[in-house]
Amino acid sequence: MSPVLVTGGSGYVGTHLIAALLRAGRSVRATVRSTAREAALRAALRAAVRRGGADDARLEFVAADLSADGGWAAAVAGCEEVHHVASPIPVVQPDDPDELIVPAREGTLRVLRAARDAGARRVVLTSSFAAVGYTPKPGAEFTEADWTEPDTPGLAPYPRSKAIAERAAWDLMEREGGGTELVVVNPTAIFGPALTAEARSSTQLIKAMLDGTMSVAPRQRFGVVDVRDVADLHIRAMAAPEAAGKRFLAVADGPALSFLEVAGILRRRLGPLAARVPTREAPGDEPPRPIIHNDRARDELGWHPRPAETTIVDTAESL
């Protein structure tokens, strides 16, 4: 069986996806911007994979950067399945939106073209709920049929970049995808345990709550999904013939949460360890609480996400 390519192999989702694939007995080729940290990554993955009764002997790291063509032809060579997970995620929103939009769009197209040219059967792309539900909608109820409009007034560069990059991916594959199929996974806010030592992505928010850096809870409402369930959905989306050409929202069952509700979960479940989490919310109008449907992933792919509370607690314990 040919190796599976995972882009963004050192990232939060990428490491979990690699571990899940290795536990399933697959050979994995993972791209990283630099192989300088390969030893540390292998050690982290080895610890995660051995808990599942496998090892990392079938894992290969290759260098490839989303901002350059070099390395991608070699990365996808011989791979029938490509999981494109890598994407720029800003620590702060840039003043110039093109700092995010251009690398997100061009990097996605670069990987898709390389996969197509190599004759890959399917690409599963990690997009985001940011490409689905960041344009105001009466009732704030969202399915895979919804799209964030990039020209929405006041839209931040990150959701704009995700919407533009995903639209560009679908347009490319419709025009000149050849025989390569595209499937897109659209996660909400991703939490859950990290496999590496760094606090990354949404885990930094939980860390800020626990260490007191976030003294007041931002007035936001958001869907939660576990990083392990995102990896599982990627694998299901790759395997199911009927998934071709579709988007799949990845979100835990139940209502969207606020930061103040997340803080309440931490206090209730962690006791004294959560003594510094915020107890009040920033002033302002009550924001909409989105209703985000995961029916397609559940019904068509048999996906069953963890409860949001389990994910929040596991994130904190991992930190």
Which pLDDT tens digit goes with each residue over 278-311? 999 999 999 999 999 999 999 999 999 999 999 9
| pLDDT band, very low/low/confident/very high, at 57 (cuts 50, 70, 90) | confident
Q: Which string of DSSP letters, residue by residue, matches 95-135?
A: SSTHHHHHHHHHHHHHHHHHHHHTT-SEEEEE--GGGTS-S
Strands 81-84 and 247-250: unpaired
Q: Kindly provide the b/e burial profile for residues 209-238, where b requires at least 16 CB atoms within 10 angstroms of the residue's own CB.
A: bbeeebeebeeebbbbbbbbbbbbbbbbbb
Establish if 84 belongs to a structural domain.
yes
- 3-state class of 255 per DSSP? coil
Instruction: Look at 292 and 96; give whichever has higher pLDDT.
Output: 292
Q: What is the pTM of this model?
A: 0.95
Q: Is the pLDDT of residue 90 over 70?
A: no
What percentage of the chain exceeds 90 in pLDDT? 83
Residue 171 forms part of a structural domain: yes
Residues sharing a CB contact under 8 Å with residue 114, sequence separation 6 or more, in sequence order = 72, 73, 75, 76
Three-class SS of residue 147? coil
Q: The domain containing residue 121 runs over which residues?
A: 4-192+225-254+291-307
State phi, psi for 31 to the nearest 5 degrees.
-95, 140
Q: List all residues 6 or more positions away from 246 whose beta carbon is below 8 Å from its beta carbon.
A: 144, 183, 184, 296, 300
Domain for residue 8, yes or no? yes
Q: What is the CATH number of the domain that holds 233?
A: 3.40.50.720
Q: Burial level of 246, CB count in 10 A (0-12/13-18/19+)? A: middle
- 57-76 burial code (b ≥16 CB/10 A, e <16): ebbebbebbbeeeeebeebb
* Domain-located, residue 219: no
Catalytic choice (137, 162, 207, 246): 162
Q: Residue 297 in contact with residue 184, Cβ under 8 Å? A: no
Task: List, in sequence order, every residue forming a beta bridge with 214; answer none if it has no partner.
Answer: none
What domain count does the chain have? 1
In three-state secondary structure terms, 49 is helix
Task: Provide the pLDDT for residue 91.
Answer: 60
DSSP count for the chain of H helices, then E strands: 10, 13
Q: Quote the pLDDT of residue 87.
A: 78
Dist CA 248 CA 236 (whole Å): 11
12, part of any domain: yes
Q: Which of 269, 299, 315 minimizes the C-alpha distance to 16?
A: 315
162 is catalytic: yes
Give CB contacts under 8 A, 24+ apart, made by 282-288. Answer: 282/216, 282/217, 282/218, 282/219, 283/219, 284/219, 285/219, 286/219, 287/219, 287/220, 287/221, 288/136, 288/140, 288/221
Q: Which helix (H) or strand (E) holds 247?
A: strand 247-250
Contact by Cβ (8 Å): 251, 305: yes
> Within a domain: residue 266?
no
| Domain presence at residue 103 | yes
Confidence (pLDDT) at 82: 98
In a domain, 42, yes or no: yes
Q: Three-state DSSP class for 205?
A: helix
pLDDT digits (tens, 9 = 90+) for 224-260: 999 999 999 999 999 999 999 999 999 999 999 999 9
